[in-house]
Homo-oligomer: A and B are copies of this chain.
């Protein structure tokens, strides 16, 4: 555990929040984009937050690893979505949990669950607290007598590294950097880099089916997990560590995406990789976005499996500080620990050229064992910096959020058009205008994962209503055009009403029944996935 402090309202470390001059610069940049002027507003202070008294308190037996202190409750009230940051910025922590539990062991968790089941108190597993869908928010309905936030930070160890199969057994509370640091001496990496990497945890990735950073092949945590251990109120759900199995429906695949409603994930065996040694990268520009789309489709269907195949439209590139001489740029990269990538890159560039792409600077091929240098590292840095900027934008009075989906290639153009129409008109209606940017984060043989960023001038005091109207318009457009409500941000409480129309109804009935079987008291994260009273 680090002594460094997390911001109580904004993304990330308190000391890494953009300073006054950085906020001024950001205000200039976004002002130019939106044709308005913005200026930094005062930042909130922890001292001014008022919390209601807890309705329930930790029993004596759990007190040694629990806290009902205000700061603990405040730091466990929200995830980090736009609406979370806005509410926290306002000092509104009315949905704070009653207390926070920091178990030291699975036994502590079992004791906590037994207590909560007996007392009718809800339990919300909490990893890095980076949910953007209300996944860790204590909006649990009127049933429970209180809410405990179960923070897994003390369970952050790599317990075993097994180098022959390149696997490790890791505790669920380990964040990205903490687990990578423990794997590095073995020359191995989990190579799972969601944008929340610095704070989010293995358990959170599994519970929310995190997507990771890479465009193709092994990037989803779903595919990196070889077994899951989960404590349910009905006992331990522990699968066998296996490279593959055809024995019935996969127990891991039911734990993946379960968002804390079935139990608390405590550890997993995961598949590691050797650190990449060979790298190849290139930037390809396109006169038209649709040509870039075609190039991505050809690459996704080529069997070349680029590690990055990130298509940005002009606006999205601009938000990332990249000027594009055209309507789109494709950030293309290959990585391998085993073999040089010249042939793959050559073929990939031939395909992008066929689609009208231009690569004026040619590809860059490198051989090294570090992560430290070059365009890739620069990009990574700005990638991980983006969430800090979103919080800073809130403090400038800018409404800024992202959403993502996945759809098949044949449906993308219609979906993209519908999303643009819906979001631009919703921003116009609510806020008099705004900007929408798009990129592909992942590409599959049968479709892309489009990712959208929208920015608009917020109206103070009405941020949440405006956001809700835009989010609703975007979500409806996505569902009507054949997309999924989320590619890698989970369902939580925010996507719940939309997920209701996406999921097969008998499946929902089956999942509710599964929950009742392992959580008969209904204490596990009520309100995530299902309505709190939907049983």
A residues apposed to B, CB below 8 Å: 162, 164-167, 208-211, 220, 226, 230, 232, 234-251, 253-259, 262-263, 271, 273-274, 297, 301-305, 336-339, 343, 347, 406-410, 442, 444-449, 482-491, 495, 499, 502-507, 509-518, 529
Question: Would B246 and A490 count as touching, CB distance under 8 A?
Answer: yes
A491 and B162 form a contact (CB under 8 A):
no
- A and B contact pairs by CB, cutoff 8 A, 6 listed: A165-B409, A244-B447, A247-B484, A247-B485, A249-B257, A512-B517
List, in ascending order, chain B residues with CB within 8 A of A305's CB. 305
Copies, count: 2
Establish whether residues A248 and B257, one from each chain, have CB atoms under 8 Å apart when the complex forms: yes
Once the chains are docked, how many angstroms separate the CA of A516 from the CA of B510?
A: 8
A343 (CB) vs chain B CBs: closest residue: B343
A446–B226 touching, CB < 8 Å: yes
Cross-chain contact of A247 among B167, B245, B499, B509 (Cβ < 8 A): B499
Q: How far is B529's CA from A106's CA once the two chains are assembled, in angstroms?
A: 30
Contacts A243-B406, A444-B244 given; does A249 touch B165 at CB 8 Å: no
A253 interface neighbour in B254, B442, B486, Cβ under 8 Å: B254
* Docked-complex contact B495 and A446, CB < 8 angstroms: no
Least Cβ distance of A2 to chain B in Å?
28
- CB-CB nearest in chain B for A499: B247
Given contacts A338-B302, A504-B238, A504-B251, contact A244 B408 (CB under 8 A): no
Q: Name the residue among A234, A245, A257, A258 with the largest chain B CB count within 10 angstroms.
A: A245
Q: In the complex, what distance in Å separates the CA atom of A37 from the CA atom of B167? A: 48
| Contact between chains at A243 and B446 (CB < 8 Å) | yes
Complex alpha-carbon distance, A290 and B88, angstroms: 60
Residue pair A339, B303 in contact (C-beta under 8 Å): yes
Choose among B234, B408, B518 the residue that contacts A242 (Cβ–Cβ < 8 A). Answer: B408
How far, in angstroms, from A297 to B69 measured CA to CA in the complex? 52
